[in-house]
Structure formats: C-alpha cells, structure tokens
Amino acid sequence: MHYYERLAWERDCQNVTQKEIAAYIGIKQQQYARYEKGVNEMPIGYFMKACEYLHVSADYILGLPKDLPYPNR
C-alpha cells in the first residue's frame, strides 16, 4: 500500500472529508484529492500537517515497522 492510499484509508476511517483536511492544511480540496490519488507528490509540510490532523505518525502512514530502531548519535 502506498502512503497516499493509507492516508486516504485513515481519513475515511475517521470520517474526515477531503475538504476538512485540505482546509486544515491550507489548500483546496481538489489539490488534496490529487495527492490522495497519487497524481501529485504531497510536499513534506502538507504530509506532516495531514498526519497531525489525523493524529497518526508519519511512520505509520509510510508503512514503516513500529520496532524500527532509531540511530544512536
């Protein structure tokens, strides 16, 4: 599953409309719809705001494993 499919799935599960999340991000619904369809690549700033609005981690939306180790620095 691509990140944009997971983002759309999570939004649907939470009964959030594209218009609501687009307004939170500060873009038009049509532009957001293109991101969810994979037509356009979502900028990282928009991606972060979408994750924030949906209360999900970017790791989850990207499909990364939960036990992924963080670098020791």
pLDDT at 63 over 80: yes
pLDDT at 22 over 90: yes
Residue 32 in contact with residue 22, Cβ under 8 Å? Answer: yes
Question: Which of helix, strand or coil describes residue 52?
Answer: helix
State the angle between helix axes of 18-25 and 44-54 in degrees (0 to 180), rounded to the nearest 10: 120
Question: What is the average pLDDT score of the chain?
Answer: 93
pLDDT per position as a tens digit, 36-61: 999 999 999 999 999 999 999 999 99
Tokens of 40: 């356009």
Average pLDDT over residues 9-16: 96
Residue 50 in contact with residue 21, Cβ under 8 Å? Answer: yes
